[in-house]
Chains A and B, each alone.
Chain A
Amino acid sequence: AQSVSQHNHHVILSEAASLELGCNYSYGGTVNLFWYVQYPGQHLQLLLKYFSGDPLVKGIKGFEAEFIKSKFSFNLRKPSVQWSDTAEYFCAVNANTDKLIFGTGTRLQVFP
């Protein structure tokens, strides 16, 4: 069965620090990959997606993610976080099925 792992459950950073959130999935075939963000009290919003092509994907608000097929990973990065990035971040994978499977989420807290 497909699964998505986010090993960082809770990340605490100061403003201007760099961010990398891990995401690994278990499926050997073609995948579509996504990162969603949920700000406090709000609904989920798409940050970025990878379907094919350049494995380095740029999203909104300065976020990017790199698909490394050999490592089954799709880590999210941001060079300099802001207080407003405080949110829950979800990696999600669609592995050639009609279901989008979400990871357990990473809570990011950014302190000024």
Chain B
Amino acid sequence: DTAVSQTPKYLVTQMGNDKSIKCEQNLGHDTMYWYKQDSKKFLKIMFSYNNKELIINETVPNRFSPKSPDKAHLNLHINSLELGDSAVYFCASSPYLRDPLDFGPGTRLTVL
């Protein structure tokens, strides 16, 4: 039983392309997040949604657009990909804000 799942696991693409990463949780949690982990393993929050509403938008370029069709899904769409977008993107969920997070397996994005 996968609690938080992400697809794809690996994504290799050219600069300038548009790509999406999907995330689903089957834990019944109200809150979902996107975190970016850079090459030095530093984790930084990008967005959080609570019950489909955007709660946190952490000064992320507007090329990144999250979408939450329902509280079990939080997708991340990235326009005009740049080299600096290469990272591992983790989706996470929690029962409510400030609760411990359950993380997905991550999506390794490589922009060439």
Q: Is B84 an interface residue (CB 8 A)?
A: no
- B103 touching A49, Cβ below 8 Å: no
B104 touches A90 (CB 8 A): no
Partner of A98, one of B4, B40, B55, B100: B55
The size class of the interface chain B forms with chain A is: 20 to 34
CB B45 to nearest CB in A, in angstroms, measures 6
Report if A105-B103 is in contact (Cβ < 8 Å); known contacts: A98-B55, A99-B56, A99-B58: no
A-B contact count (CB 8 A): 47
Whole-angstrom CA separation of A44 from B101 in the bound complex:
9
Given contacts A43-B90, A44-B90, contact A100 B104 (CB under 8 A): no
Nearest-neighbour CB distance to chain B for A109, whole angstroms, equals: 14
Q: B104 contacts which chain A residues (CB < 8 A)?
A: 43
| Closest CB in chain B relative to A60 CB, distance in Å | 12
> Which chain B residues numbered 60 to 94 have a C-beta less than 8 Å away from chain A?
90, 92
21 intermolecular pairs with C-beta atoms under 8 Å apart: A32-B98, A34-B100, A42-B105, A43-B104, A44-B43, A44-B103, A45-B103, A49-B100, A94-B98, A98-B48, A98-B55, A98-B56, A99-B45, A99-B56, A99-B58, A100-B45, A101-B45, A102-B43, A104-B40, A104-B41, A105-B43
A interface residue numbers (CB < 8 A to B): 32, 34, 36, 38, 42-46, 49, 88, 90, 94, 98-102, 104-105, 107
